[in-house]
Amino acid sequence: MNKIQKLGLAILVSTAALAFGHGSVTPQPVDTKGLENLGKEWLEENPYKGNKTAIEIGEHAYSENCARCHGLGAVSGGIAPDLRYLEDNIDGDEWYMERIRGGAVRNGNVYMPPFEGVLNQEAMWAIRAYLITLPKD
Ligand code: HEC
């Protein structure tokens, strides 16, 4: 390898570190195998509350898709709301689904990207099932 090739390699490696150093930025597919299929109709209430498989899938899906803004273990670093404090009831379910599906886009600014079409309904409720297991402090 000559000097220029070495330099090129070094630059490649450091950009990769930059892109992946803080968790993935592109949405990550979630394997929801093992969960009851929910069909196409959007549900109003979390069908997986207390479901162990869902909670495990949800924890992984959260880390891959949400933690970079909402914090590891949903302990917010201040960039985005602390999701441990969402109400653990059907109102909380409704608000959660509205947000995760539509994201938060105002005046052309994307505060949170929409996840509808990226994650399936099963993955969305699995994340919710995980979030409500977290201690509030
Ligand atoms: C790019 C950063 C980013 C990512 C990624 C992201 N969010 Fe958000 N989220 C935000 C911000 C910022 C807000 C506050 C939006 C506002 O100001 O209206 C928010 C708001 C929310 C809310 C409403 C919270 C409340 O207290 O009102 C929920 C629920 C939520 N996000 C869930 C998720 C979930 C679940 C994921 C992963 C699938 C996720 N978000 C990924 C940035 C993000």
Ligand 1 pocket mutation pick from 24, 99, 109 by most atoms within 8 angstroms of CB: 99
34: domain range? 28-131
Q: 97 in ligand 1 pocket by Cβ < 6 Å?
A: no
Report, as an integer, the average pLDDT of 79-91. Answer: 96
In a domain, 66, yes or no: yes
11 located within any domain? no
DSSP 8-state secondary structure symbol assigned to residue 117: T
pTM equals 0.86
> What pLDDT shows up at residue 16?
42
Take residue 118 and report the two structure tokens written for it: 């990226």
* Percent of the chain clearing pLDDT 70 (strictly above): 82
Nearest CA to ligand 1 atom 1: 112
Q: Is residue 137 part of a domain?
A: no
> If pLDDT is split at 50, 70 and 90, which confidence band does 20 have?
very low
How many domains are there within the chain? 1
| Å from CA of 70 to ligand 1 middle | 7
In a domain, 100, yes or no: yes
> Residue 83 maps to which CATH number?
1.10.760.10
Instruction: Say if 13 falls within a structural domain.
Output: no
SS3 21: coil
Reported as a single tens digit per residue, the pLDDT across 100-127 is 999 999 999 999 999 999 999 999 999 9
Contact (CB, 8 A) for 130 and 38: no
CA of 67 to the centre of ligand 1 (A): 10
Give, in order, the Cα–Cα distances in Å from 28 to each of 35, 70, 104, 106, 120. Answer: 18, 16, 19, 24, 12
- Whose CA is closest to atom 43 on ligand 1? 112
Q: Is the CB of 96 under 6 A from ligand 1?
A: yes
Rounded to 5°, angle at Cα 82 from 76 and 87: 160
